[in-house]
Chain A
Amino acid sequence: MRPIRVLVAKPGLDGHDRGAKVVAAALRDAGMEVIYTGLHQTPEMIATAAIQEDVDVVGLSILSGAHMTLIPRVLDLLRADGRDDILVTGGGIIPREDMDALEARGTGRLFGPGTPTSELVDYIHDWFEARESQTA
């Protein structure tokens, strides 16, 4: 199986990249091809990078409270480009009810503080296998 390609992205203005970097390194160590955007990205920059880099997964890290604005916009931009096959997942400081609303809107699972990185790795692997078996 080819390696899973993941874009780890920091939308918005918050500068907390500890989590994004730890997750990016953990996914790379688990054999995925990981691209990290750096800080302060707009949804447009993230969607463009995801399409140009032809990734399977976009992982959004957001701790600023702007998740209800920025995450749906990334989803919409990918959909507008016909790329709803890309998994949009992520995490940060996001209250449970907001996570539920975002997942209902079409994101994959969202993760909160204290999540072991192994859980993210397993989740992405399982999602990828399910997608590949559908398209095969």
Chain B
Amino acid sequence: MTTAEMLELDRLREEVAQWRARFDAAKKRNALFANSGDVVDPVYTALDIAGDGSALELPGEYPFTRGIHSTGYRGKLWTMRQFAGFGTAPETNARYKYLLSHGQTGLSVAFDFPTLMGYDSDHPRSEGEVGKCGVAISSLADMETLFEGIPLDKVSTSMTINGPAVILFAFYVAAAEKQGVDIKELRGTIQNDILKEYMAQHAWVYPIEPALRLIVDNFAWSAEHVPLWNTISISGYHIREAGATAAQELAFTLADGFTYVERGLARGLDVDDFAPRLSFFWDIHNDFFEEIAKLRAARRIWARHLKERFGAKDPRSLIMRFHSQTAGVTLTAQQPMNNVVRVAYQAMAAVLGGTQSLHTNSMDETLALPTEQAVQVALRTQQVLAYETGVPNVADPLGGSYYVEALTDKLEQEAEALFEQIAEVGGVVHGLETGWLQRKIAESSSRQQWEIEQHRRTIVGVNEFVTEEGELTIPLLKVSEAAEREQRARMAQMRAARDNALVESRLTALREASRTDTNLMPFILDCARAYCTLYEIRAAMEEVFGAYREPVFF
């Protein structure tokens, strides 16, 4: 730094000090909202950022704070990807065609709880839950119906599935084969992030170690056979929804990501063979600038760790690509129309943070699955943002803002501090086994509830600005009770029509392979092709792997 520059900084320090004295003396509002509970400064200046800001790289350059594409959104807009699924495969197939005809550009499958847990629709544990929270998919036959008339080489499909992810993925690959599509053309994502299931979302099947083995099996198989497929979507979304702060979401999710990389390396894979297919998924909460900073920090941390710690050389290994969804937990059942506004702000934060794809929640989701009208408003919210606001015209338009840069730095530092704490408790896997990570999230969730009840955190329409009427003024979707009946009938038909001797031999082969170190993906795919059901495949491996038991506490 030259003498002139140092004098300039001294002058700025003096100016800020005088300003601060005037600020402290002035009358101010008491209520100050900061999502993660931290106090933010009333103004930010050059004093709050590292260096003089000229070190800030351009978009598309390492460490990608400003985005992964040099063209920002001028090359390609984000993918508008609404998560959808309910009832039976034919009903959801119709919803997908509706969404595609209204300008949606990618599909995202919501499965029902039995499917998420690896139960068939006709399993006793599925009773009452079939098709309720998503679509029921119990075999290749259902997957074929789900994508009937939708060429799988022409759409990209995201599937939110974790515990039995490899099985549903095998159904999808087999469905593509049946359509005559070259599977090398398949584009999309399976969530497949089991660590955050133990941490937050809780749709698990197997114990941690065999579950991680299946994930790495899939990394290795997919690199060879479906090179464009994202093998995992390392998800902060559910961690945040369960109560984590922005910094915890950032740190716990990235720590999960590093754990997957470590497991891939331990298998003997080259980091550059699988890291380019790792993708992420973030929750976009209410604190506008904090969320933007979180996304910027996430890209920077990932790039630095992949390069410096894991020795990645391929630039595609260093860039963090991610999906975002507006925060379901911020929606209110009270005055549900207000949710449209919350979602619009959150969507804008996601785009200012440089998301690759986005789901905007529907206003009615605290009451039921969304209606078609509510989903349309949510999709239109993205289209207004994309085509009317001008926001996508400039890459990282907030880059260089003292506040946003300072917040980005701060979140990065907080995440690094949390990485150290996780290392001290023995890493992510051990932190899950002891419940340390789950407790951290539960503590944050309890604190937020307390803040709301103490009116320290304002939720419009819930603890302030309450109206007596207007509890329920919007129409709700009813999932037909017939879905379960129809699905059971379809399964009975399918079981009768398939070659049951082939089913048995494929399941036996999978069970035997599970006892060895061999890659299980080809065996699971063979089961899928023979119309083995989800639960049959799950159970074959469970005989060898056992089931996960959660540490129960509150």
Q: Are A22 and B333 in contact (CB under 8 A)?
A: no
Q: Are A96 and B472 in contact (CB under 8 A)?
A: yes
Closest to B365 in A: A93
A34–B553 Cα distance when bound, in Å, is 11
Q: Are A17 and B202 in contact (CB under 8 A)?
A: yes
A17–B463 Cα distance when bound, in Å, is 22
**Interface majority SS (helix, strand, loop, mixed), chain A:** loop
- Interface presence of A31 (CB below 8 A): no
**Residue-by-residue, is B124-141 near A (CB-CB < 8 Å gives 1, otherwise 0)?**
011111001100000000
Q: Are A64 and B241 in contact (CB under 8 A)?
A: no
B128 touches which of A12, A28, A96 (Cβ 8 Å): A12
A26 contact set on B, CB distance < 8 A: 449
Known contacts A13-B116, A18-B445, A96-B471; A113 and B241 CB within 8 A of each other: no
B133 touches which of A37, A65, A96 (Cβ 8 Å): A65
Closest to B113 in A: A13
B241 contact set on A, CB distance < 8 A: 18
Known contacts A20-B554, A64-B113, A93-B366; A13 and B442 CB within 8 A of each other: no
Known contacts A12-B129, A37-B552, A66-B129; A93 and B367 CB within 8 A of each other: yes
B368 contact set on A, CB distance < 8 A: 65, 93, 95
A22 contact set on B, CB distance < 8 A: 445-446, 449
Closest to B549 in A: A38
**Contact surface of B with A, Cβ cutoff 8 Å:** 113-114, 116-117, 119, 125-129, 132-133, 197, 201-203, 241-243, 329, 332-334, 366-369, 442, 445-446, 449, 452-453, 459, 462-463, 471-472, 476, 479, 550, 552-554
A28 contact set on B, CB distance < 8 A: 554
A70 contact set on B, CB distance < 8 A: 128
A17 to chain B, nearest CB (A): 7
**Contact surface of A with B, Cβ cutoff 8 Å:** 8, 12-18, 20-22, 24-26, 28, 34, 36-40, 42, 64-66, 68-70, 93, 95-96, 112-114, 116-118
Q: Are B333 and A65 in contact (CB under 8 A)?
A: no
Closest to B130 in A: A66
B283 to chain A, nearest CB (A): 13
Q: Are A117 and B453 in contact (CB under 8 A)?
A: yes
A59 to chain B, nearest CB (A): 12
Q: Are B552 and A38 in contact (CB under 8 A)?
A: yes
A28–B554 Cα distance when bound, in Å, is 10
A31–B442 Cα distance when bound, in Å, is 20
